[in-house]
Structure 1
Amino acid sequence: MAANTGGGSDGMEVSPHAHAIAAYGETLALVHYAEVASVRALAELGRSALREAQRDGVRGMASDMELRSVAAEAAGLARRTDRRLQADIDHALTIVDEYPTVFAAWEGRRITRDHVDVVVKAGTGLPDEVRGEFEIAAIAVCERDIATRVKPALRALAERLHERTFTDRHHDAAAGRCVRVSHGADGMSDLIATVPTVIAVGMLDRLTQMGQSVKDARAAGADAGAGADAVGADELADTRTMDQLRADILGDLVLGGAPVVDPTYGTDRAGGLGAIRARVQVAVTAETLMGRDENPAEAVGGALIDADTARELAGQVSEWDRIFIDPVTRTPVEIDTYRPTASMKKLLMARDQHCRFPGCRRAAIRCELDHTIDYALGGHTHIFNLAHLCQRHHSMKQFTKWEVRQVGGGVLEWTSPLGRIYREDVPIPAVCFTIDTADPPPDAALGGPPPGEAAPF
């Protein structure tokens, strides 16, 4: 096209996107230099924390507390969680101190940040004696292709250089087995189990065999129903896919079955593993329970569940915790007793919802109740001197220079070792009601649910 020619002295065709591409290239350069500087700064932050902790020869818990404190300070600047910041500090220390050749190649733009992360992951566990050789060979591999395509080659390279056998390393890796949950959208979550491969494959195989048995029984029942009773055939209809069957069977096994490792199996005493049942705290409005709306309920910890599931759960519980909401502030009303009662604990769990350190969202059900002013120092045991803290931030409050005070209404004000102040407001209530009457009847607490009531169960 004539409009795209003549842009250069040699008459070569000029792309209409040349300016935008050039601008993007400049942006990539800026991002690169910023990322390099950020990793270098995070690594120095980690070194500073370790130097301070080791200044007087301390080790172990004191060193970790100093790193936690520094990570919390940096997290306040970055407006991120301190756990994530500490993980970033650890990763930066690994890149800068343990992979200096790779870091230099990244700084010189021979490889990308994605390459760096892939190299570090592949080199996990390599002994110090061969890491230098691994770095040089890994950089050569990374220069040939994008990060996602070099992973197999880097794993093979690390395997060749490793002095320990795969079996030995697997025994160590198996110590990191765990189960975790990642909440998604539309009332769904991913349950992730990190287990030895043979266990994972065996679990999938057994679930598949069980699912196939269900499908076979379904087909047999449908054939029988077709020849005898059409209504019975309709009742036997089961259209679940194999994926759905595996998921349903897994849920049945975990929630309803006793583990084979149960040391109490075959005994009469109470409290065995087979008696353990899942515990989920749900906050739901009265309108949803009565079917007047289909708004989702909240499973404390951050996930939403659909109204039908909430109503089904509600129909199975024998105990309800009724929490009254202040009509003005929309926060739970204080229960003032000398010692924490069950009611106080439940009220505080509904108020806090999660750990009250800025940015932390560890569910209250997984936290500890902490006296803001220590009980041994004269702090009282009442609502406005108690708050949920996870074990990490509870111990950090005890063993570092972070300070906290309650300024009223359950609001916490944290002061960092450098004097910065962070305000942790009361979380937004999980449920909120519109008050139809100006004043609830005096005996409302003795009768049915009054206006301004939340009902977690």
Structure 2
Amino acid sequence: MVLMTGPEFVAEGDLDDIAALEGVCDSGREVSAAQAAHLLRLARFARRRLTHILETTVDTPEAQERAWRNLVAETACALHLGEGQARNQIDLAWALTSQLTATFDGLTVGRITLEHAEVIVDQSATVPEVARREFEARLLEAAAVMSPRRLREAAKRLRERLHPETIEARHRKARQERSVWVDAELDGMAVIHHVLSAEDARAILDAVETKVDRVHRGGDIRSVAALRSDVLRDFVLRGETSPAGANDVVPTVVVTIPVETLIGLDDRPADLSGYGAIDAETARRLAAKAPSFARLFVDPIDGSPLALGREKYRPTADMRRVVVLGDETCRFPNCGRPAMYCELDHTEAWADGGRTDLDNLAALCSRHHHIKHEDGWSLEQLEGGVLRWVSPLGRVYETVPKALFDAQYFGVEARPTLATLLDGAPEFEEVLLDPLPPPLVSFDEFELALCGAPPGAVFVDETA
């Protein structure tokens, strides 16, 4: 890291750290306001220019296309942009000033950044107009507490609730766009784009991460990012594609499926860890193929402990599964590292009397685990799994599990438990009253039989 020194930094040299950070926040809001002003001027120019051009000719589709082409070329040259970039800026300006005006207002006052606004515009494009106002309002509220990347992930979940077309129909259409292409980069490098189904993408990434972890632990000096690239290359070019091949890399895809969806009572989307909503048909197919089964919340039915207190430092496998699936990612503000690759941290340190209980555990990536213990950040776990971070400069940040976040910001109601579901389903009452038929010996296996799933099926019940 290079420390910036020189006369240009002297003017604010007498500020304390807290005031200096507040100044950074102020300038960030000023940047957002300036970007909003630029987009407003661009939208006004675009309307004026298109109107002027069309006034001089017969208004036909061909004339409109020529006018638009002229506008894009004029804007690109004036701003020293490529025409694709100019077109995107005009589209963004048009959407914010004519359709998503609340988002534009948020940008104008510096409440959100341009990147947040771009996410809202992009995700709103396929939301029906009747639902767009609610969609925009909920995302604006969420944008105040998360990064653009996390906002995009949240927007996808909200979009599934508000979109009238089923996710199955949209997925079938989207699958037709599968493709691979390469973009050249500088210095002899290139980027491969691979468009494929979300479940396949997650399986590939998990296989890569698993192999990378093994190689890295073996002392390889390459960076983790470079290892990911090299491992994926080897999978493709050297034929290391079999999950159970010589390298014994078995990809893991975690899908959270509501019980009522799995047994066919409805077709609400399931959740693919690290991606978001997937259609019920795909989720059932993955469940039928999976080699193992796990419940998200462990309860007294199978005797698995929810808490170890001061008896043991290391959480059980069941406890880790609960934390990983509940947290989904590292719980430091805006970190997107998948929880399955994170460490479990005792919020109140074990050395300070902390307990190995679910309400004292959270997923933290290695970097943020070190930040918590070594760099002056403090952490408190509140009710419902809310984590309250306090930075060395006293700024407070809270992160919440995904389910709680969706309930707070998107109004997502808790789904019924399995018992409640079956109490309201008369066709299952006779099955419930009968003893468990052999060879079923556990409630988990009974659930699978009830669902009609084959032996060895796997699903994660987020409602138990």
- Indicate whether the TM-score tops 0.5: no
TM-score range, shorter chain: 0.3 to 0.5
TM-score (normalizing by structure 1): 0.42
Rg (Cα) greater in structure: 1
TM-score (normalizing by structure 2): 0.41
